[in-house]
Amino acid sequence: MAEIWEKSKHANAYKVLESEEAQKIAKEKGLKKVANESPECLECHVTAAKADTKLLEQGYDKKEGVTCEACHGAGSAYKSMAIMKDKAKAIAAGLTEYKDEKAIDAHCVTCHNEKSPTYKEFKFARAWKAVAHLLPKK
């Protein structure tokens, strides 16, 4: 699954904020900070942007962009293979479960929406193809 993420735009979500275009947009929007430091931008371009930094594990790096944990929840308690291979254990340890594609789509649009200054109509079916991995078994 890491290979899917590495090839996705999510992996580069923070890097986008370092671009000249992002800085221009931040300035045009009247943001008080540059894009890669602005809470309004970081909210959707990094995992755990709003989290208390004291709660983040050592090694957390916002420059990783939007990681697995942005959708699946903090993974420190379920990341071991012994837990991950047992879906019930993983969910009990904090893995966010999505019942179906509609639930996944609802999560996606918390960022992929008109609030974004670069918003383009979000089409879940197309977007899912770029990041698709196993759906929970029913």
What is the per-residue pLDDT across 4-38, written as a single tens digit (0 to 9) for each?
888 889 999 999 999 999 999 999 999 999 999 99
What does the pLDDT read at residue 136?
A: 46
Q: Is 6 in the same domain as 58?
A: yes
What does the pLDDT read at residue 52?
A: 81
Own/partner pairs, 96-100, CB within 8 angstroms, 24+ separation: 96/71, 96/72, 97/136, 98/135, 98/136, 99/136, 100/135
Q: Is 91 in the same domain as 104?
A: no
Domain that holds residue 115: 98-131
User: Are the C-beta atoms of residues 83 and 90 closer than 8 Å to each other?
Assistant: yes
Q: Is 30 in the same domain as 68?
A: yes
Residue 136 belongs to a domain: no
Question: Model's pTM, two decimal places?
Answer: 0.84
Q: Per residue in 29-53, pLDDT tens?
A: 999 999 999 999 999 999 999 888 8
Q: Is 69 in the same domain as 90?
A: yes
Q: Is 89 in the same domain as 108?
A: no
Q: Is 33 in the same domain as 70?
A: yes
Query: Residues 59, 64, 69, CA angle at the centre, nearest 5°?
Result: 80
Q: Is 59 in the same domain as 75?
A: yes
Average pLDDT in the chain: 90
> Into how many domains does the chain fold?
2
Token output for 90? 């993983």
